[in-house]
A and B are shown apart, each in its own frame.
Chain A
Amino acid sequence: MVKSNLEASVGMSRKWDAREAGREVARSTIEKLKAPPNFFILFSTIHYKKHGGFQELLNGVWDILPESTPLIGGTVTGFMNNYGVYARGVTALAVSNPNMDVIIGYGKNTKRNPRKAAKQCANMIKNGLKDSKYENKFLLNLISASEIPNIPFLGRKKIYTKGFSTKILLRLFGFSQYFLQKGAGRDDEVIEELTKCLSEFNMLGGGTLDDGKNLNNFQFFNKSIFTNSIVSLGIQTKYKLDVLTTHNMKKTGIEFNITKTSKDGRIIHEINNKPALSELVKLLGWPKDFLSEENWYNTTYYFPIGFHNNNFGGEIGPRVIGEIIGESLVTVIRSKDSDASILTIDGRSLLQTIDKNFQSFPNKPEFGLISSCNTRLITMGNKIYLARDRFLNYFDEKPFIVFYVGGESTYSPKKGLNYVNMSFNSAIFWDGENKISHN
């Protein structure tokens, strides 16, 4: 057994007042460390927007956190950590270790110009770590996820089927996307660019969210609150690490051809040469007007569209529909794959996804970060505690945080990019020869 001098710690707060919660999460996280933290990662649910605001939450954190500690974070639907599973509150992970170089970066306007934002962020990371001697590289990316568009005259909705023709609605959607930055997250484009700029890094990513309403989400960078941005934490360390995506979704047998899409493949206009929405609803056997704002999660999110993930050996990956604009379907992930199917998953398979993921890591973890689709939390409800038992078993008492987000990804130079929805994505750090035996 190798004695590690890496100290990692997880803290949390369930206080309602933003400032008090900020102080408590910082105090409870760093009080267990013997040396000042190298970095501080903060995840909060959206509730503090109404209970003092996120600036106050950060002010509370900085009342306690040592000046100049690199901090990134963002809003999430919920989180799991060593203490429990929560759909309200704030949690943080901090690491203290002398054998580690750390830098943080950001890029703005991800929904308007995702590639420019990625380059801005990548340059900050590259410059900050250019003198590092450590060989193992890791990047945590938190990107503003999709938000419900704000269509002039029609307001904010997930489904726009009335009022104007599909053509006009799509133009108005474009206006909302570009000028208001309310619409598709385009986080897939951000990540693709990042992997080009920082191809030697292992990456874990997720889209910041609110509590499922998709109205707004926030990113944290040191003492600032951002919207429509990417914030990243870059680490170079002597500690070993790896990343892995698993989802375990299966085909339902409903297969079809996507016959017309937007130029970038994000918007599906036609399925089987017919208007996309009507054909999809028919294939699923749902009544014509079945989809609504209220049943959105239990319908579209439970039956994502399967596509061949060309970045990931052509494996089938799930992508969800984020918006319905007339007869067109706006998806979270771009794909020009015409060969599509409907996927689904049951509770047992959701749990097996976790086993499958952890079993691939040969060493005992020192700490872990997991980005998981928020639909997995919403689907499991209070049964999420069944999943938590698996985490406690794997991590023992080592710190971990699962943050529930939208649009999750991992990238490694060996495995390539895996950006899908409905998935479970881990970044596990370990030390030396600390082998684990999986039964």
Chain B
Amino acid sequence: MQDDPIAKVLDDLLKLDDILACMVARQNMISVMPSDGDNSFKPAVHEIWDIIHRAMDDVFNVIRSYSEVGLAEMEFRLQDFVVLFYVFHETDNALVAIVPALSNKGLIEVEIENARREIKNIMDEQENVKLATA
């Protein structure tokens, strides 16, 4: 996991004060975590992580059903947190970020979008390598 380039992108995103946790996930499965796993999540999110995790799975139900017809983003607010889902085009995978409900969301969105684009490029490269070696 330590050398995973996608984990490095998540590490970078997590350095922003208002990103409390982030991961690449799909329904019932977290595909990539930051290099240090959930240990690197900010303390504020630990107490509520189990509930958020459960709620995330319900959201992924919707993402799975509608990503192919253009669902690109979703979010929900739970207590003092907002969970943002940035879907990877036409897949049921999403970059998930947990932020404080009263954060400056516009600026965070810019950086989450940059992370989504960077991860998408890495995924495409990995796919190309797979195809070339198949």
- The interface of chain A, by Cβ under 8 A from chain B, is 14, 16, 77-78, 84-88, 211-212, 294-295, 297, 377-382, 384-385
Contacts and interface: CB of A to CB of B under 8 A. Distances in A.
Given A16-B15, A88-B16, A297 B104 contact: yes
B106 A378 contact: yes
26 contacts: A16-B12, A16-B15, A78-B107, A78-B110, A84-B117, A86-B111, A87-B107, A87-B108, A87-B111, A88-B16, A88-B111, A294-B102, A295-B102, A297-B106, A377-B106, A377-B110, A378-B106, A381-B106, A381-B107, A381-B109, A381-B113, A382-B73, A382-B112, A382-B113, A384-B110, A385-B113
Interface string B1-45: 000000000001001100000000000000000000000000000
Q: Is the interface of A mostly helix, strand, loop or mixed?
A: mixed
Contacts of B16: 88
B61 interface: no
A77 B107 contact: yes
B114 interface: yes
Nearest to A45: B107
A211 B107 contact: yes
Contacts of A379: 106
Given A77-B107, A85-B113, 20 more contacts: A14-B12, A16-B15, A84-B114, A84-B117, A85-B110, A85-B114, A86-B111, A86-B114, A87-B107, A211-B107, A212-B104, A297-B104, A297-B106, A377-B107, A377-B110, A378-B106, A379-B106, A380-B106, A382-B73, A382-B110
A381 B105 contact: yes
B108 to A, nearest CB: 7
Interface in B85-121: 86, 102, 104-114, 117
Contacts of A16: 12, 15
A356 to B, nearest CB: 23
Contacts of A88: 16, 111
Contacts of A211: 104, 107
Interface of B: 12, 15-16, 73, 86, 102, 104-114, 117
Nearest to A381: B109
A294 B102 CA distance: 6
A237 B108 CA distance: 40
Pick the most buried of B12, B16, B73, B106: most chain A CB atoms within 10 A of its CB.
Answer: B106
Contacts of A385: 113
Contacts of A14: 12
A372 to B, nearest CB: 13
A385 B109 CA distance: 11
Nearest to A211: B107
A238 B73 CA distance: 48
Nearest to B72: A382
Nearest to B112: A382
Given A88-B16, A294-B102, A378 B107 contact: yes
Contacts of A382: 73, 86, 109-110, 112-113
A86 B115 CA distance: 11
Q: From A294, A379, A382, name the one whose CB has the most chain B CB atoms within 10 angstroms.
A: A382
Nearest to A84: B114
A137 to B, nearest CB: 35
Nearest to A378: B106
B112 A378 contact: no
Contacts of A295: 102
